Amino acid sequence: DTEVTQTPKHLVMGMTNKKSLKCEQHMGHRAMYWYKQKAKKPPELMFVYSYEKLSINESVPSRFSPECPNSSLLNLHLHALQPEDSALYLCASSQEPRNYGYTFGSGTRLTVV
Amino acid sequence: ELKVEQNPLFLSMQEGKNYTIYCNYSTTSDRLYWYRQDPGKSLESLFVLLSNGAVKQEGRLMASLDTKARLSTLHITAAVHDLSATYFCAVEAQKLVFGQGTRLTINP
């Protein structure tokens, strides 16, 4: 298995909703990442987990809450989002060290209404 | 803070022509990546460049890295319509930072 699987592929949520994005990989990668990508912009790093511990938080608002329950799974919990949070959310994973690069999932297209 | 700049940001070219996309970065790094993204899709890894002078080729695409000049190039040879996409370079220095992307349109 050489893929990063993200679910759901599309999500529409209201500003008072609570939802979660899920990311899974079975490549034995020990680093996992969340990126946010607005239309016509490059991906921007949000969080990095290394060996199941949060190692980088790029000053992301607390309405985004990451969780890494085990080495294969990464979640992003969403609460009280704003319309400007609508974007493509990409999960990625990599080996440690990262000589073979990063594998990106297909993304979750999030719309906040 | 690491900055990654690509140029051009938009490129419209005819099939059969050659062109080069440039990626400059501001701090020392020996890991550079090129990705392709189709509209509404995720990132497809094209090349991983790990050392000065690295050159990799796949089909009509060739990427190179000059770490001393902090410059990578993505060269397109005899372009075909299927190569139309947005191309990102990304540089790693403690974290992966992307360039702005080059939106490439290849016209028949």
Phi, psi of A59 (to 5 degrees): 55, 45
Q: Mean pLDDT throughout B5-27?
A: 96
Distance between CA atoms of A91 and A102, rounded to whole angstroms?
Answer: 10
Write down the pLDDT at residue B94: 80
Q: Tokens standing for B16?
A: 């059969």
CB B55 within 8 A of CB B62: yes
Angle at B93 between CA A5 and CA B21, to 5 degrees: 80
Q: Mean pLDDT throughout B6-18?
A: 95
Write down the pLDDT at residue A46: 97
Say whether residue A59 is in contact with chain B using an 8 A CB cutoff. no
Is the pLDDT at B73 greater than 70? The verdict is yes
Selection from A111, A93, A104, A108 nearest residue A30 by Cα:
A93
Q: Cβ of B21: how many Cβ atoms within 10 Å?
A: 24
Write down the pLDDT at residue B93: 83
B103: which chain A residues are within 8 Å (Cβ-Cβ)? 40
CB A58 within 8 A of CB A44: yes
Classified as helix, coil or strand, A109 is: strand
Write down the pLDDT at residue B1: 85
Which one is predicted more confidently, B53 or A73?
A73
Per-window interface: B 10-69 vs A, CB < 8 A: 31, 33, 35, 40-43, 45, 48, 50
pLDDT mean across residues, chain B:
94
pLDDT band with cut points at 50, 70 and 90 for residue B104: very high
Write down the pLDDT at residue B30: 75
Low-confidence residues in chain A, pLDDT < 70: 97-99
Q: Tokens standing for A51?
A: 């060996």
- Of chain B, the percentage scoring pLDDT greater than 70 comes to 100
Residue of B nearest to A94 (CA): B96
